[in-house]
Amino acid sequence: MSAYAVPAPPVPTVPVEGSDAAFPVRRILCVGRNYAAHRREMGGDDRDPPFFFAKPADAVVPPGGDVAYPSVTANLHHEMELVVAIGKGGANIPVAQALDHIFGYAAGVDMTRRDIQNAAKDKGQPWDASKGFDQSAPISAIRTGVAAPPQGRITLSVNGQVKQDAVVADMIWSVPEIVAEASKLWALAPGDLIYTGTPEGVGPLVRGDTVTGEIEGVGALSFRVI
C-alpha cells in the first residue's frame, strides 16, 4: 500500500509524567458498576458482577483541554475513575501476572450522557452513544513507576465543591482482576487504557463548570465544560 484513500486519523496520545515520549492510545475499555455504593445509587443489583464497555480511542482529552458539552443530552454526568495504562499485551492473563502488563496509572473521568444511557437501558439498546462520544474521556498524565496498584483516596469536585470522595480500595474487582477479566474478552495490547469504574456521588455538569479530580499516588486533572 502506497497511500491512504482519505487522510489517516492522528494517533491519540496521553502524556507520560517525566518523559518526552507520549502514550499512544489504542483502545479504551471501561468497567461498569465496580463500586458497591455507586451500583446502589444506579439502582443495580448487588449480586451482579461488574462488566465492560468501550469508548473510541479518540475520546481521550489530554491534560489541559476543555470538554465541549456534548450534543443530544440534557444530563451530562461525571464519573471519576482510576485509569490503568497497558504496556505489555496478552490474552488470558492470570491475575498473579497482571501487574507485569501495566505501564502506569492515570486519573480519568468517564463522561456519560445519563439520559441517553437510561433510555438505552429501558429499551435494551447499546450504550455506545451514552458513553463513547467525542471528548468523553478526559485524563491526566500517566504516572509510571507505581509498584502496587493505587488504593487511596479518589475525589472529584465541581467548582470547588466535593461531589465524589471514596477510596480505590473499595473497588469490587481489583486492578489485577480487571486486567485478567478484560484479557479473557479481548487480547490486550500496548496502548490500551482501562477506566476502572466510578465510586458513588456521580452527578450532572453544565457549561461553565470546572471539574477537578485527584487520586492519591496517581495524579490530578482539571478541565472546564464549555
Under the criterion CB under 5 A, does residue 50 sit at the interface with Mn ion? Answer: no
* Closest distance of CB 112 from Mn ion, Å: 7
Under the criterion CB under 5 A, does residue 79 sit at the interface with Mn ion? Answer: yes
Is residue 222 within 8 A of residue 211, CB to CB? The reply is yes
* Closest distance of CB 196 from Mn ion, Å: 8
Q: Which residue is nearest to Mn ion (CB)?
A: 110
Q: Which is nearer to Mn ion, 17 or 134 (CB)?
A: 134
Distance, in Å, from the CA atom of 172 to the CA atom of 150, rounded to the nearest integer, reads: 14
* Closest distance of CB 77 from Mn ion, Å: 9
Give the side-chain half-sphere CA count within 13 A for 121: 11
DSSP 44-88: --TTSPPEEEEE-GGGEE-TT--BPPPSS-S-EEE-EEEEEEE-S
Angle at 36 between CA 180 and CA 221, to 5 degrees: 75
Instruction: Give the per-residue contact string, 152-191, with Mn ion (x = CB under 5 A; - = no).
Output: ----------------------------------------
Under the criterion CB under 5 A, does residue 138 sit at the interface with Mn ion? Answer: no
* Closest distance of CB 79 from Mn ion, Å: 4
